[in-house]
Amino acid sequence: MIGSVTAFVLSLLIAIDVRPYLSRLDYILWAVLVLGVLIFVHEFGHFLVAKRAGVSVLKFSLGFGPKIAGFTRGGTEYLLSAIPLGGYVKMLGEDPKEEVVEVDRERSFSAKPLGWRSLIILAGPGSNFLLAVAIFWVVFMVGVPTLTTKVGEVMEGFPAREAGLLRGDRIVAIEGQPIEKWEGLAKQIHQSPGRPVRLTVEREGKRFDLAVAPKATKQKNLFGEEQEIGLLGIAPAEEFLTERMNPITAFGRAVYKTYDLSVLILITFGKLLQGVVPAKTIGGPLLVAQMAGEQARLGVLNLLFFTALLSINLAILNLLPIPILDGGHLFFALIEAARGKPVSLKKREMAQQVGLVLLLALMIFAFYNDIFRLLGRQ
């Protein structure tokens, strides 16, 4: 059964006192909404390509477990199931042990060429990537609020104060190159530990230059690795500019942003396997609920960014070569392409059992981490 796995069994919450978290029920509602959209897009990708290939789709389900509601149309049963943590598309002939009558064989998944079967498998994760691109495209056209280079605080014991920078100053250029966004300013300063940089500062309508050497400071990066960066000892003011892009530029930026985040997630996964990123950072449905609620409260743009990030994460998770996930199905397809014949049914069943055990172990571990976060022990 081709499907997606996004989060894990919420019923384990019975084991803890949830009363302190009842005020956060809106978080759960936002999580269900976000995950529902991602699951629908994922499964709809499988569904559309299967239909295009002429495969008979027997079931299209949002959620797992007992049926809550459903209807049948065009030979497909559309279901809303009780556990909103994933979904699946069941196709005719997808199960090798399933008997398909001769009249239906042409509409069977197993009877389709390897290329079509591979496209059907890839369509789910591919749809999640496309959703991320679409979200970023809209966001970049609408406009993203960005901090300006106006200084909000100058800290004691750092080069900025010693050089004479004041609260309310605006840094308009670095080494003669104009700069408007705090993000770009911080990036250049971080890359110059101990090396003097020339800042052009605007104060009360007048501009002047200051030579400042950012203080070399040891800090941990996103992956917990220690690195040396430069710090001036300044913080931004609460002043924003809105950067809007035309549709063509926004689309290019959206594609690059999706690619950039995909690479970041893959690097993070690699660091996790190396032990650089601690395993306690793995999260399950409760972490998703918490983050969805927090981003929703910060505004629509934040929630959209979070949804796009989660969509990319879901796509990559499902492409992992673990039997039972899309990546596992694709892995068997690649072996079939190399060998010229499919992997035996017995070997596929054994691999899927191992994959199911690994996936369940990961789910339980992620949920364990979620509970300890809620209890404040991480």
Measure the N-to-C terminal CA separation of the chain; round to a whole number of Å. 36
Q: Which helix (H) or strand (E) holds 212?
A: strand 206-212
Among residues 43, 99, 225, 238, the one annotated as catalytic is: 43
Q: Are 210 and 201 a contacting pair, CB within 8 Å?
A: yes
Q: Are 373 and 24 a contacting pair, CB within 8 Å?
A: no
Amino acid at 263: V
H-assigned helices in the chain: 25-52, 114-142, 159-163, 182-190, 247-274, 285-298, 300-319, 326-339, 345-374
Q: Which of 218, 304, 198 is nearest to 257 (CA)?
A: 304
Residue 160: count other Cβ atoms within 10 Å of its Cβ. 25
Separation in Å, CA 213 to CA 162, 197, 234: 10, 6, 13
Q: Are 16 and 375 a contacting pair, CB within 8 Å?
A: yes
Separation in Å, CA 141 to CA 131, 243, 246, 248, 260: 16, 9, 6, 9, 19
43 is annotated as an active-site residue: yes
Residue 218: count other Cβ atoms within 10 Å of its Cβ. 9
Catalytic residues, by residue number, are 43
